[in-house]
Amino acid sequence: MAEQSAFERIAADARAIGANVPAAEMARLAESRGMGAAEVEAVAETLSYLAAKKRERAVQMHLNMSRIPQKSPKTFENFDFGRVRGKGGEALAGLPALANLYARRNLALIGPEGVGKTHLAQAYGRACCERGLPAYYVKARELSDKLAKAVRLGTATNAMNQLIRPACLIIDEIGRCKFDRECTDLLFHVVDARCEKDGPNLILMTSNFTADKWDEFFTGGSTLLCMLDRLFDDATVFMIKGTSYRGSALETFSVEAVPSVSRLPGRK
């Protein structure tokens, strides 16, 4: 593939910052002003810098709005994929490609506590933001409270739109609380609307429980069945087994306390 000329790079970076400067137009301008190669390259470097700054601001805006914790961020780079074993290990290690997002296939991470489900979920959302795609992270209990409050205040439409809009919706720790019928109905409408969204799109769910037990955490009968059908109709499910990562950096020391020796008066 031929390397881009300075004029083509200028045109691409100009578009990135909202300006329309076709390569041919920039070439004519350079010719009319008697600009040499060094001057054209200086323009290219300036626009490249401005475009990069705009991308950085966009990424930070997406991260701020995502609700993904920013302190000690969970990333794919600091997840220990070396611990992953089994025939699905290669597929799990492929998550950083975000193929599910672009294939519009939902994703579920299911397994016991401490095996890295939340880490991977937050890393996935962060990677989406870094690619300029909005993500939204919410724990199941927070989501239940959010939907219940929206029902009380009559703001259900706004609450649902906030969950429909992002390219990546992450619902963490399903099974920590029970959704009542109204909240289950609202969540069904969110899932249904997201199925119709254009562009990169997925719901990422984590749980300690397999999906056949989720009827214990949602109230809805046929509505629940329809919601589960839409969630898992075209999805990837990782059943993660193994021991907990938690405590892997724990240091334990064995010490012994003995009685102190009292000195007699007059003795050194």
Residue matched to tokens 């390569």: 23
Q: Which two tokens stand for residue 54?
A: 């705009």
SS3 131: coil
What does the alpha-carbon distance between residue 136 and residue 64 come to, in Å, rounded to a whole number?
Answer: 10
Which segments in the chain show pLDDT lower than 50?
A: none
- Give the domain 67-239 fold: Rossmann fold (3.40.50)
* Residues pairing with 109 in the sheet: 206, 238
Q: Which two tokens stand for residue 57?
A: 């601001």
* Residues pairing with 207 in the sheet: 110, 174
- Compute φ and ψ for 108, nearest 5 degrees: -125, 135
pLDDT digits (tens, 9 = 90+) for 14-58: 999 999 999 999 999 999 999 999 999 999 999 999 999 988 899
Any idea how long the chain is? 268
pLDDT digits (tens, 9 = 90+) for 219-242: 888 888 899 999 999 899 999 987
| pTM > 0.75: yes or no | yes
